[in-house]
Amino acid sequence: MSLNAPTEYLQGLLDSGPLFWRAMASMKTDDDHHDQNATHVEPAPPGIRLAPTALLDAVSSYWPRMTSVWTRSLASTLGAQTEPVIAPKRSDRRFLAEDWRNNAWYSLLKQTYLLNAGLLEEVVDAAVLSEKDKQKLVFFSRQLIDSLSPANFVATNPEALKLAFESNGDSLRHGFTKLLDDMQRGNISITDETAYEVGHNVAVSQGAVVFENDLFQLIQYAPLTDRVAKRPVVIVPPCINKYYILDLQPENSFVRFACEQGMTVFMVSWRNPDATMAQTTWDDYVELGALTAIDVARTINRADQVNAVGWCVGGTILSSAAAISRARGEDKLASITLLTTMLDFEEPGELGVFIDEAGVTQRESAIGRGGIYSGKELGFTFQTLRANDLIWPYVIDNYLKGKSPMAFDLLYWNADSTNLPGPMYTWYLRNMYLENNLCKPGRLTVCGTPVDLGHIDAPTYVLATEEDHIVPWRSAYRSTRLVGGPTQFVLGASGHIAGVVNPASKNKRSFKAGGDSSGDSQAWLTSAETQPGSWWTHWIEWLKPHAGESVKARTKPGSALHKPLEAAPGRYAKVRTA
């Protein structure tokens, strides 16, 4: 299966089904096992093995607890005060309404669901499969379990039912209208998209586009200090979604923070691909993208080197560019910062369940020689990774309750998806996720140059986040073993987005730093120290020694060779996926 299509997601559920139901079918009772009352696990059907002790424990604890749920529920209907047998996790927001606790029927429904979900998870955990099949089974079983929550259906959601009665059915009518609208749009509405406008109330840092080609625009931001560092910061964001996640609003803008610290910041704003980019390759993103942006920024600032920052796939592109530049004998990078970036894809996390040889081959056949991969399909898969945060709450509020989603800048950015060129996308799937070639010296040739990440000798700052479901932090840690220069590894709190966009001014969350990086990730974690607040302040102190001398800030963007073309954020950032 390849990455990110809703149809393939549904196919994944079907593919995993036989494994799941074969595991379930293996659970039987036999009075001859050990003693007259013990639960016995029969041999599994052909093709699947089970851990019998784990299954025995799961079934043995399930039935007494389920019996207790029913007896306590019956007692509560007769006026007795009872404690629930099982409660949702503190992070589970599906059952916050009082009726889930105080109404005997809804409490029974909730506890039965939670117990059944737990049993299914334990059955899946007991299945002895290859690592790939087990990961797939766990992922799609969780999707199935999440989808069957009683909160997801009108008839078993107390809030939706109450609202339907109070509104004489208007809430359901509004919900059905919203469902039809979203079906026409091709995605679930997760925020009020009319509340924001790129360049008006998001992506508002002052600056100008000082260069453009068919692949990207380069934005130079206005200085916010009288003096600035000679060497500029060049940011290569992901080509999935838009760059302005790093410049949402003044209070949470990484761009503004860097400018306030006396840095001249350049930002790559990738073009949202259309049919004219159907032949664009990974080599183009490296040569015409990252390497060109570095050269233009150096020229404008008259600097010997730049400090480059890459996020997620932008960091993978940047690292490829850095290795190539060094192999060519160039020395253009004073430092590199990699934000939640994978260079070693051996353990790609849950995205790996969507990748296999058959799926990648099918994608290569369809769009590998030319075509566009839809950003909406791309976004859907990322939503499935956190379905209880990014799918089901909006199904409930939008369709069951007829409500409109609230305005939220981060979710507006999340919904502003971008397409990908087919050749670039399929090359990335095969060589990173499927074959893990980038981390193997000389295995790949990009822009005519063999790629060896060990050639990167610039100091490298590697940020990972603890709850990242896209780039597992231990995978990100492996980057420190691949690059040739000195490294600083930092582990931020939260996830892939919130862990990066953690404004220093709000002093929230924490990060770990200072661990022993001579060993594996666990050794680093054991020796690292937790520090309160944002990693931004730690990063800027690390960066300053590489920033060069202090010079007077120039008030006019660009140069004689690279004159300003238009005001930031530029027209590339405003093109939305149809």
List residues with catalytic annotation: 312
State the SS3 of 497-525: CCCCCCCHHHCCCEEEECCCCCCCHHHHH
> Of 81, 79, 52, 83, which is closest to residue 65 (Cα–Cα)?
83
Burial class of residue 3 (count of CB atoms within 10 Å of its CB; 0-12, 13-18, 19+)? buried
Pairing mode, if any, of strands 49-50 and 127-128?
Answer: antiparallel
Is the distance from CB of 196 to CB of 407 less than 8 angstroms?
A: yes
Q: How far apart are CA 173 and CA 170, in angstroms?
A: 5
CA distance 124 to 55: 9
Is 460:479 a contact under the CB 8 Å cutoff? yes
Peptide bond into 569 cis (omega under 30): yes
Residues in the chain: 578
Cα–Cα distance, 143 to 380 (Å, whole number): 13
Question: Is 387 exposed, middle or buried, given 0-12, 13-18 or 19+ CB atoms closer than 10 A?
Answer: middle
Written as six digits, the tokens of 35 are 């003693």
- Interacting residues of 264 by C-beta distance below 8 A, sequence separation 6+: 220, 221, 223, 228, 229, 232, 233, 301, 553
d(Cα 240, Cα 196) in Å, to the nearest integer?
19
Q: Which CA distances in Å does 124 have to 19, 138, 271, 387?
A: 9, 6, 43, 19
Contacts of 348 (CB under 8 A, 6+ apart): 342, 355, 433, 472, 475
Q: For 448-569, where are the E strands, in sequence order?
A: 449-450, 460-465, 487-492, 510-513, 529-532, 550-552, 566-567
Residues 464, 492 contacting (CB under 8 angstroms): yes
Which two tokens mark 160?
A: 């939706």
Contact 55, 126 (CB under 8 A): yes
Strand partners, 310: 236, 338
Q: How far apart are alpha carbons 387 and 382 in whole angstroms?
A: 9
CB 2 within 8 A of CB 360: yes
